[in-house]
Amino acid sequence: MKLLLRFNADIIKKPIISETVLETGVKLDIERARVEGPQGEIVVNVPDDSCREVVNVLRHKKVEVTRLDVPVAKDEENCIHCGACVSVCPVGAISFEYDWRVRMDEKLCVQCGNCVNACPVRVIRLST
């Protein structure tokens, strides 16, 4: 399960991820991290069977937690399947199908936002 974690200024400098791993014994796969000024956000992948426990610990530590069931969405009706998003995806989450239609694999997406910026018709959006 992918989770979007948001940290505010009060907790940004605390070792919350390492504390959570130590408290739960669950390994968290950090897929993306961004710190801008006094705030930060991290996308982590958590084993499905441990997700509830990890979420409870993080929320207790005052982390804003959002499940990313669908991390990226594409408006199929208006997509022109040009492939601009395919070329900028750093993890291969976007590819062409056999019929040259653009396909997105949400399980691989790390929400970097490159596809959103590359799309000439603005039909891709990140979930929040």
pLDDT digits (tens, 9 = 90+) for 51-65: 999 999 999 999 999
Same-domain status, 40 and 76: no
pLDDT digits (tens, 9 = 90+) for 19-35: 999 999 999 999 888 88
- Residue recorded with tokens 């605390």: 14
pLDDT of residue 128: 66
Same-domain status, 8 and 61: yes
pLDDT digits (tens, 9 = 90+) for 87-106: 999 999 999 999 999 999 98
DSSP-based helix, strand, coil % in the chain, nearest 5: 25, 30, 45
Average pLDDT over residues 36-65: 92
Phi, psi of 85 (to 5 degrees): -70, -35
Give me Rg for the CA atoms of the chain: 16
Tokens representing 48?
């499905």
Same-domain status, 58 and 97: no
**If we measure between CA atoms, which residue out of 85, 93, 100 comes closest to residue 32?**
93
CA angle centred on 52, ends 18 and 42, rounded to 5°: 45
The sign of the torsion formed by the CA atoms of 117, 120, 124, 128 equals: positive
Compute the mean pLDDT over every residue in the chain, rounded to the nearest whole number: 91
Contact present, 84 and 16 (Cβ < 8 Å): no
pLDDT of residue 79: 94
Percentage, residues of the chain above pLDDT 70? 99
CA dihedral 118, 120, 123, 124 (to 10 degrees): 0
CATH code at 81? 3.30.70.20
Same-domain status, 53 and 87: no
Report the predicted TM-score, pTM, of the whole model to 2 decimal places: 0.73
Residue ranges making up the domain that contains 6: 2-67
Is the pLDDT at 115 greater than 70? The verdict is: yes
